[in-house]
């Protein structure tokens, strides 16, 4: 439970109203407004850092462009992350052992062929690490493009706090329904009778000790069990509408060589893509236990 008042707590009506007003006023109008040029991503300047942080405060992500092109040095994305307080990487089992980043590219060998990120297929809306145990929940996210696809590979982006806001506006009862600790279950991952990852049950929305919002969600229809609760199920349906039916506050970005996305763990998807005859899409992904520093509801509503 949160140790302090939070606008994300369903009982905090007045606080929520004040936060909502500032949040809406702070939203970027178009994707161009979210892009920051970084001259040397291994060491972003104070001015570049403050532009990135300002965007993360407003919409929980920023896009960045560097002059690095297809330079695959992992220090490029790691430098951007570190400058924003993203330090503690989740070393997932398919990650690159030396850096803690994960290379997202089409793989032809087991076991990666079994997982959609390592194919050229589309990925539905989700937050990262929704199947992780609470000790390993993901709060910060970074994607850095070394080589884009020949065609496609566009990321849909939506601030998870805006999804929360639109849901709470639609029906305040949706929020406690999605905060139930048993609302969303991801079944165990098994192969040949061996459990590779245990079943994981948890809330969609929860509030951290600092009063910030965390979201675990996947839009996938298979290998997921929603609680048999009409309000929760209506909320999930509404969220699907918000994410897919041209709702405001969604963005679509195609990362080109040297570009990246950095922020808190927002909702995102990926369209299908096609690699070229002699080039393969390669993105580095960093999943962090940290949030971007100095972001959060108090940075928007200082007098709370």
The binding site for Fe ion (CB under 5 A) comprises: 128
Q: How far is the CB of 126 from Fe ion (least distance, A)?
A: 6
- Check whether the bond before 178 is cis (ω within 30° of 0): no
Nearer to Fe ion, 211 or 263 (CB): 263
Q: How far is the CB of 284 from Fe ion (least distance, A)?
A: 13
Nearer to Fe ion, 52 or 266 (CB): 266
- CB of 109 closer than 8 Å to CB of 243: no
Chain-centroid distance, C-alpha 262: 9
Q: How far is the CB of 287 from Fe ion (least distance, A)?
A: 8
Q: How far is the CB of 242 from Fe ion (least distance, A)?
A: 18
Nearer to Fe ion, 178 or 261 (CB): 261
* Residues composing the chain: 304
Residue 218 DSSP class: B
**Residues whose CB falls within 8 Å of the CB of residue 168, separated by 6 or more in sequence, listed in order:** 10, 16, 174, 175
Q: How far is the CB of 140 from Fe ion (least distance, A)?
A: 12
Q: How far is the CB of 104 from Fe ion (least distance, A)?
A: 9
- From CA 152, how far away is CA 150, in angstroms rounded? 7
Nearer to Fe ion, 128 or 212 (CB): 128
The residue among 183, 188, 175, 186 whose CA lies nearest residue 226 is 183
Nearer to Fe ion, 116 or 195 (CB): 116
Nearer to Fe ion, 36 or 142 (CB): 142
- CB of 260 closer than 8 Å to CB of 77: yes
Q: Which long-range contacts (CB under 8 A, 24 or more apart) does 68-74 make?
A: 68/41, 68/257, 68/258, 69/257, 69/258, 70/146, 70/147, 70/257, 70/258, 71/146, 71/258, 72/146, 72/282, 74/99, 74/101, 74/284
Q: How far is the CB of 115 from Fe ion (least distance, A)?
A: 11
Exposed / middle / buried, residue 37 (Cβ in 10 Å: 0-12, 13-18, 19+): exposed
* Residue nearest to Fe ion according to CB distances in the complex: 128
Nearer to Fe ion, 128 or 161 (CB): 128
Q: What is the largest CA-CA distance in the chain?
A: 57
């Amino acid at each position: 439970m949160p140790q302090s008042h939070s606008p994300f707590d369903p009982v905090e009506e007045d606080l929520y109203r004040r936060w909502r007003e500032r949040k809406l006023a702070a939203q970027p109008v178009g994707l161009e407004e979210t892009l920051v040029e970084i001259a040397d991503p291994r060491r972003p300047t104070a001015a570049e850092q403050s532009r990135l942080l300002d965007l993360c405060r407003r919409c929980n992500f920023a896009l960045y462009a560097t002059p690095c092109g297809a330079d695959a040095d992992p220090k490029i994305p790691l430098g951007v992350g570190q400058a924003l307080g993203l330090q503690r990487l989740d070393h997932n089992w398919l990650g690159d052992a030396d850096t803690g980043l994960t290379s997202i590219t089409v793989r032809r060998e087991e076991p990666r062929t079994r997982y959609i990120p390592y194919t050229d297929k589309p990925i539905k809306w989700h937050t990262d690490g929704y199947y992780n145990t609470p000790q390993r929940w993901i709060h910060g996210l970074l994607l850095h493009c070394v080589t884009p696809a020949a065609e496609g590979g566009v990321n849909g982006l939506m601030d998870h706090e805006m999804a929360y806001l639109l849901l709470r506006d639609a029906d305040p009862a949706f929020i406690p329904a999605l905060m139930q600790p048993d609302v969303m279950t991801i079944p165990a991952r098994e192969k040949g009778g061996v459990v590779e990852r245990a079943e994981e049950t948890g809330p969609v929305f929860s509030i951290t000790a600092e009063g910030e919002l965390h979201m675990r969600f996947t839009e996938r229809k298979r290998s997921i069990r929603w609680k048999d609760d009409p309000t929760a199920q209506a909320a999930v349906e509404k969220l699907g509408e918000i994410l897919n039916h041209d709702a405001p506050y969604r963005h679509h970005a195609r990362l080109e060589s040297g570009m990246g996305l950095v922020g808190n763990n927002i909702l995102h998807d990926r369209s299908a893509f096609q690699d070229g005859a002699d080039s393969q899409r390669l993105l580095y992904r960093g999943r962090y236990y940290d949030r971007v520093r100095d972001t959060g509801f108090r940075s928007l509503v200082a007098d709370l």
